[in-house]
Amino acid sequence: MKNRREFLKLTAAALPAALALPSLCLGEEPAKVPAYLRGYEKLYAANPRAAALQWFREAKFGLFMHYGLYSQLKRGEWVQFHEKIPVAEYAKLKGTFNAGKFDADFITDVALAAKMRYVNLTTRHHDSFCLFDTKQTDFNSVNSPARRDLVAELAEACRRKGLGLCLYYSHGRDWRHPHAPNNDEWGGNARPNYHPPEPAYAYGAEHQLQKYLDFLTAQVTELLTNYGPVAAIWLDGIAVPLSGDQARFKCQELYDLIHRLQPQVLFSYKQGLLGTEDFFAPEMRAVKEPGTKPMEICDTMQKGGWGYHEKARHLSAAEVRAKLDSAHLAGANLLLNTGPLPDGSLHPDDVAALRQAGQRTP
């Protein structure tokens, strides 16, 4: 009797652990497939990246969003650069950033209504303000009046609705970090041309590009560690490394890290920097020789810019459809941008056009 009681105790203790065993023990897939890759389970089990590439080729249409501190000024995402707003002055915008109407559920519903299959958000644009909870800087939305991690909110909504989460990250440019690429070494448009020189920047022998590379590597690691499965990392600022010794950016090391952190994640660097990117993402028009790699043409619903500009004209539903048809004829996806208003809401003209375009999309 004693032995039987001991057996029952051991069995009861072992049951929770048995239930927690990998699904392979229950005859299911050994690895959990990301929500956006449902339908690609067999290919994912054999090769996660191949499954992601096949998904991407078939996705066709995605929503891009440029949102940040610049949205409050209503003059586009390059306003700090063009108007040479000093770093300390620009940083004051963090104190009024509340994102009160940024609604990830609404955004993803609009994307689905347009028959889009993925969403891409600017996690950190050239101004260096981050829309996620990062330990690398306090210049982020969590430390603003918003007190919100917008990337986390969007990631959760995408996961629930089976949309791919793509994350824009400014690689070649940073207008705040002291050791980011400077104009002396990397051409005239790496940073604003401040006169007198911007006191927040490191100059001459004090400037160490490696410190900036360590910063961005740590942030990309956070994005691929803290937000669940990511469909793509979308790098920007390619003109800067192309203007100098691009080997100093150690991009292949970053690419290898991305694939180690999430085997299915794809990455691009606009029209391609090293040629080892997973897909091309040129602006406005197709690259001439995409070869065998997928291509995504990025374009915007707001004429003349990506971040919200209060005086810009917005595309109609017919124009959205024409851009989608043009991209498909080129064998490419279309990543179509909207610039949310200062409060984080989507422009009503863009919402209407996307919904109407979706009604006519087969």
pLDDT over 70 for what percent of the chain? 90
| CB burial of residue 170 (10 Å; 0-12, 13-18, 19+) | buried
* Residue 205 CB neighbours (<10 A): 6
* 304 touches 272 (CB < 8 A): no
Domain containing 46 equals 39-359
At 362, the pLDDT band (50, 70, 90 cuts) reads low
Query: What average pLDDT does range 2-12 have in this prediction?
Result: 40
Q: Number of folded domains in the chain?
A: 1
Query: What average pLDDT does range 182-193 have in this prediction?
Result: 92
Distance in angstroms (rounded) separating the CA atoms of residues 354 and 359 = 9
Residue 27 lies in a domain: no
Tens digit of pLDDT for each residue in 68-104? 999 999 999 999 999 999 999 999 999 999 999 999 9
Tens digit of pLDDT for each residue in 278-301? 999 999 887 766 568 999 999 999
pLDDT value at residue 303:
87
Residue 195 lies in a domain: yes
Position with higher pLDDT, 61 vs 28: 61
Residues 104-109: contacts with CB within 8 Å, 24+ apart?
104/150, 104/153, 104/154, 104/156, 104/157, 105/157, 106/346, 107/63, 107/65, 107/154, 107/157, 107/346, 108/154, 108/157, 108/158, 108/161, 108/163, 109/161
Query: What average pLDDT does range 144-170 have in this prediction?
Result: 98
Query: Which of 36-50, 136-150, 275-289 is predicted with the least confidence, judged by mean pLDDT?
Result: 275-289
Residue 4 lies in a domain: no
Which residue is associated with the tokens 């994307």? 111
Residue 14 lies in a domain: no
pLDDT value at residue 284:
84
Residue 125 lies in a domain: yes
Residue 281 lies in a domain: yes
Query: What average pLDDT does range 97-113 have in this prediction?
Result: 98
pLDDT value at residue 26:
36
The answer, yes or no, to whether residue 349 has pLDDT greater than 50, is yes
pLDDT value at residue 289:
60
What contacts 345, CB < 8 A, 6 or more positions away? Answer: 101, 102, 103
pLDDT value at residue 360:
77
pLDDT value at residue 288:
63
The answer, yes or no, to whether residue 339 has pLDDT greater than 60, is yes
What contacts 306, CB < 8 A, 6 or more positions away? Answer: 64, 66, 76, 77, 300, 337, 339
CA contacts within 13 A on the Cβ side of 83: 14
pLDDT value at residue 285:
81
Which residue is associated with the tokens 């942030």? 219
Query: What average pLDDT does range 101-120 have in this prediction?
Result: 98
pLDDT value at residue 286:
76
- Six-digit token string for 6: 């001991």
CATH number assigned to the domain comprising residue 130? 3.20.20.80
Residue 2 lies in a domain: no
Mean per-residue pLDDT over the chain, rounded:
91
Residue 97 lies in a domain: yes
Query: Which of 1-5, 273-277, 334-338 is predicted with the least confidence, judged by mean pLDDT?
Result: 1-5
At 31, the pLDDT band (50, 70, 90 cuts) reads low
What burial letters (b/e) apply to 99-109, b meaning 16+ CB within 10 Å?
beebbbeebbe
* 311 touches 303 (CB < 8 A): no
The answer, yes or no, to whether residue 16 has pLDDT greater than 80, is no
Query: What average pLDDT does range 236-254 have in this prediction?
Result: 96
